[in-house]
Chains A and B, each alone.
Chain A
Amino acid sequence: MRPFAYERVPDPAAAQRAVPVGSSSAAAPVPTMVLAGGTTLLDLMKLDVLRPERLLDIRPLESRLGAIRLDGQGLRLGALARMAQVADDVEVRREFPVLAESLALAASAQLRNMATLGGNVLQRTRCSYYRDVSYAACNKRNPGSGCAALDGYNRLHAVLGTSEHCIASYPGDFAQALMALDAVVEIEGPQGGRSMPFAELHRAPGDRPDIETTLRPGELITAFQVPAGPWAKRSRYVKVRDRQSYAFAAASAAVALDLDGDRVRGVRIALGGVATRPWRATDAEAALAGQRLDEASAMRAAEVAFRDARTHGENDDKPELGRRTLVRALLEAQRMEIA
């Protein structure tokens, strides 16, 4: 870890003055970064991957940005709400089970107590080549240096949304749940507030893997809006992993189903552990729309979802696992008893 200045920020306006926040800005070393729960940032600073010269601790804003609010329109989650707080919220669990499940199945109890929602959706990849600075080649960490994972150890790497520059997988869980519920992300920045579909927050690596989101310099996520809808209650997060707890997804699927008997009125699908960013499987949704939901139709949709998968050797089995995970999530959501 290198020396850095630490400040606690009293209000969002001050955070904006402190631009560039730069979690997605290209230039390294990033001069200033926002500290919330710190569960990713401090790790990566100790590993010398991130080298901010200044940290702005936004936890003083928790009273304003940490609330959970549910009304007829839907759910509003403050960006500084803790993962554990939302995972344990009775109303969230009842009305938006996929959200609570995705949080409860993530990380460990200690991390969930510290980590915030805003930080969670921005967590960095677990690609070993990104997290270990002794590897010279990592386009995400060091633009233009190459990608060691392409011909290296890539069992856990992405098969969807990859490019020849990066195959690092997005590691989170909660983002898939937000995406499957058509959430909107609220942002404050130097030019004022704005909002956009959560699905537009992350970007695929393309030729700039170092730019992970569409946030502009100085912008801060302040909240997530999750609209109410008939699909929200019949929503499920299935996470398949190498051990029972405290492991990243080998594959995961967030699904939200609106059923008319056996028939699919509407379905939303987001996939995790398999893609470079939170991945909405819109073609698979279209393949299921209006169909009777059963093993066969679920498998057809899963085929569609992974139609464009590209593997790199040690992750050759990932598309098959991803398909099975999606089928399992769809059929388990179908079996849910909804009050």
Chain B
Amino acid sequence: MPEGMIGQGIGASPVRVDGRAKVTGAAHYASDMAVPNPAWAFLVTSAIARGRVTAIDETEARRVPGVLDILHHGNMRGEVQEAGFFAGGGYAGSSLRPLEDDRVHHDGEIVAVVLAESYETAREAAYRLQVRYAEEQPSAGFDTEGAEARDAKDAVQGHEDAEVGDADAAFAAAPVKIEAAYETPTQHHNPIELFTTTASWENGRLTILEGSQYVHGLRNGVAKQLGLDPSLVRVESPFIGGAFGSRGSLTQRTALIAVAARRLNRPVKLVATRDQGFTIATYRAETRQRVKLAANPDGTLVAFVHEGTEVSSRPDPYKVAGTQTTARMYACPNIRTKVTILHADRNTPGFMRSPPEVPYMFGLESAMDELAHALGMDPIELRRVNDSTHESVKGLPWTSRGLMRCFDAGAEAFGWKDRTPQPRSMRDGDWLVGYGCASTIYPTHLGAATARVTLTPDGRARVQTAAHEIGTGTYTVVAQAAAEGLGLPLEKVLVEMGSSELPPSPVSGGSNVTASVCAVVMKACEEIRARIAAAAGQGPLQGRDPATLRLAEGSLRAPDGAAEPLTEAMARASNGAIEVYAENIPHGLPEGALKSLYQGKPALGAGLEGKDRVMAAFGAEFVEVRVHSRTAETRVARILGAFAAGRIVNPRTARSQLMGGLIWGIGSALHEATEMDRKRARYVNDNIAEYLIPVNADVPKLDVLVLEEEDKATPLGIKGLGELGNVGTNAAIANAVFHATGKRIRTLPIRIESLL
């Protein structure tokens, strides 16, 4: 029996139900879906970051045979209305309206859309389109004139800085302390699937084919932009070739392509280029942080100050604000955090895998290592003495917290005891060797969700929910939940997702989907079970309490072992299929969560925002680095992560997520940075030859340990782990580099010149 067939419910490790389709090409991504006779769009993006478009000369472009039309601000007719910035209650990643006027707000803003009979023709004509600008001096953000700083508590609705005790006084009086500044760069998601959109109209109804992490958000956002009733907009996104946050919010391109298709009265297809992907979607905001950390000689923290400044666009206050996590990480009586937004001539940043935690946990976990060194204490022991059952800002209990179990299991497996504490004390030939570790955390976000589950008389189930397969294995885990709930083998469960025509599911962000969607699917399955059980009175299960009857192994079963085949049991309850539409609002979410969901608004909650408790997944990451003693290249030799993330729905896909997170973390620590020409506020390495991510040769021996953890407070005991793996890696690597070289690098990525 193939390994994948052993056990198929929650906790089993079946192979991905869509795996074969993906590797054979049978799985169709949005841009693979055929539309009849499409016209092709090619974007023209701005060559300046701030100023005005003074002229667009179409003559040469129009002369290219096959050109159909060129959209630009001069010929838009107010077709696209504002969708609103998502954080202000809207739908879009930016509040800018596409092609609204002649203003240029950031590098690579869409200034024209060329439409033609073929991709090649559209591209050639785009190259021949003459766009002239009046350039104004832009601000790139840090280190440049003209950026505007605002306190996040004023700029961002609902943002709260933490203030517990008197952190500054406690810091001043503390016997052992460190104070340091950390910097994290602009980063881009660069999913392998490019940003594509296909739009077509039929009888006033719009169909959008686009890779999306939130089809209901996209539908409602586009409907608002185009003044349509949302029911007239359909979004299809059956598979997504990587997203990492970049496809969570509506971008400008979608409405433009819809307008183009309406004008041409034929489908229009856009495949944006890789470099355009750097400026037409979102990215991880650059941050600069200051951390003060003070302790008693025994290591117990007495003061923690964490201040961060984050670059955003002129119009939108996107906040990273990982201080909400760092302030809660360890026991500490005096805490002060502050976030400042720096508005500059940039496009609006957005969510990128573990958005708040990746930059800010780099600051905290580096500082913890610095403090451990100052104390002469093992960094794991420093975390142990400051471990806590309650978070430190409001004193709320963690529903479970596996941090130190992860450190202990990880340290054992990694061989942490072989580390000689003195920096620069381990060596292998020309290479300096260092061990480092760091904590990792990701809040357990949850969202309201809906699903329809249909059990047909042949004993097969169909699950419908507008969740998204972003590469994580969602089709598989949702099928597992239904297989568990209905007692069916996996192959009898069909899952339909990725369409706005299906019952709404939350945005595939914040690592919430497995917990949120499996919970509502299980709720629907439970209702089906209850209906079948209630009708069991006349059959072989006569006399049993319906509440004790379970669906398992293709039958309805009583505790005493009596059973009736499912198809026969269900025939008592229904003459045909049994269909249940379920809605679920997880504990801790507001009443309005379902309403927001139906409106396509992102509405995640729980995590660290609970009123009575906080929940998160934890882990510990261990790294061995090699730094060349002469030329200072840093290479990771080994990496190990130990994680506690509640009940694991599918250990196979969970391991894959965590492994991918650790590899992502290697890239974040050592390679990834979107480089700016700060004078011109433009990106320069906007391709994946020069925007470096780890190649196979950079990925060393890698181990993932997943610890058992029971958390009765979360739905089904599940904690999301998609964004857990890459949170601690930046600091673990920086800490290992310090141990190898004696040099503390506080600016990411850690490069050769950092260590010369």
Min CB distance, A257 to chain B, in Å? Answer: 18
**B574 smallest CB distance to A (angstroms):** 57
Residue B170, interface by CB 8 Å:
no
A1 lies within 8 A of B680 (CB): no
With beta carbons under 8 angstroms apart, the residue of B124, B685, B753 that contacts A3 is B124
Size bracket of the B interface: 35 or more
* Contact indicator B677/A250 (Cβ below 8 Å): no
Interface contact A245-B679, CB-CB below 8 Å? no
Secondary structure at the A interface, as helix, strand, loop or mixed, is loop
Could you tell me the distance in whole angstroms from the C-beta of A111 to the nearest C-beta in chain B?
10
Residues of A within 8 A of B679 (CB): 151-152
Cross-chain contact of B756 among A2, A241, A242, A321 (Cβ < 8 A): A321
Given A244-B635, A317-B753, A317-B756, A152-B684 contact (CB < 8 Å): yes
* Interface stretch of the complex, out of A126-134, A202-210, A218-226: A126-134
Is the CB–CB distance between B684 and A321 below 8 Å?
no
Name the distance in Å between B56's Cβ and chain A's nearest Cβ. 15
Q: A245 and B752 in contact (CB under 8 A), knowing A1-B124, A324-B630?
A: no
**Number of chain A residues close to chain B: CB under 8 A:** 35
B696 interface contact, C-beta 8 A? yes
Near A by CB (< 8 A), chain B positions 119-162 give 120, 123-124, 127
Taking a contact as CB atoms under 8 Å apart, the answer to whether B684 and A244 are in contact is no
Residues of A contacting B670 with CB < 8 Å?
242-243
Interface 9-residue window, one of B14-22, B174-182, B687-695, B724-732:
B687-695
A247 within 8 A of B: yes
Would A148 and B756 be within 8 Å (CB), given that A128-B685, A153-B684, A324-B630 are in contact?
A: no
B69 at the interface (CB under 8 A from A): no
B751 within 8 A of A: yes
Q: Is B496 an interface position by the 8 A CB rule? A: no
Within 8 A of B (CB), among A197-251: 238, 240-247, 250-251
Q: Which residues of B contact A128 (CB under 8 A)?
A: 684-685, 690
- Proximity string of chain A (124-150) to chain B, C-beta cutoff 8 Å, 1 when within and 0 when not: 001011001111100000000000100
Q: Given A152-B680, A243-B670, do A250 and B752 touch, yes or no (CB 8 Å)?
A: yes
Question: What's the Cα separation between A151 and B678 when bound, in Å?
Answer: 9
Q: Are B633 and A245 in contact (CB under 8 A)?
A: no
Cβ–Cβ < 8 Å partners of B697 in chain A:
243-246
B676 at the interface (CB under 8 A from A): yes
Interface check A160, CB cutoff 8 A:
no
Q: Verify B47–A135 contact, CB threshold 8 A.
A: yes
**Which of chain B's residues have a CB closer than 8 A to the CB of A250?**
752
Residues of A within 8 A of B101 (CB): none
How distant is the Cα of A137 from the Cα of B228 in the complex, in angstroms?
45
Within 8 Å by CB of B752, from A48, A134, A238, A240, lies A240
* Nearest residue, chain B, Cβ from A327: B630
Are B47 and A134 in contact, CB atoms less than 8 angstroms apart? yes
Query: Which residues of B lie under 8 Å from residue A129 when comparing CB positions?
Result: 684
Within 8 A of A (CB), among B672-714: 675-680, 682, 684-686, 689-690, 692, 694-698
CB distance from A274 to the nearest CB of B (A): 13
Q: How far is the CA of A246 from the CA of B675 in the complex (A)?
A: 19
The smallest C-beta distance from B747 to any residue of chain A, in angstroms, reads 13
Chain B residues, CB < 8 A from A8: none
Q: With A and B bound together, what is the CA distance between A243 and B635 in angstroms? A: 8
Docked complex: A79-95 residues within 8 A CB-CB of B: none
From A3, A242, A320, give the contact of B751 (CB < 8 A).
A242
Q: Which of A126, A134, A153 contacts B675 (CB 8 A)?
A: A153
Q: Is B671 an interface residue (CB 8 A)?
A: yes
- A232-276 CB contacts (< 8 Å) to partner B: 238, 240-247, 250-251
Shortest A241–chain B CB gap in Å is 7
Q: List 17 A-B contacts (CB under 8 A).
A: A48-B127, A128-B685, A132-B684, A148-B677, A153-B675, A153-B677, A155-B675, A240-B631, A241-B633, A242-B692, A244-B635, A245-B696, A245-B698, A251-B631, A317-B752, A320-B756, A328-B630
Residues of chain B having any CB pair with chain A under 8 Å: 45, 47, 120, 123-124, 127, 275, 628, 630-633, 635, 670-671, 675-680, 682, 684-686, 689-690, 692, 694-698, 751-753, 756
Q: Given A152-B680, A240-B633, A317-B756, 4 other A-B contacts at CB below 8 A?
A: A126-B689, A128-B685, A240-B631, A246-B697
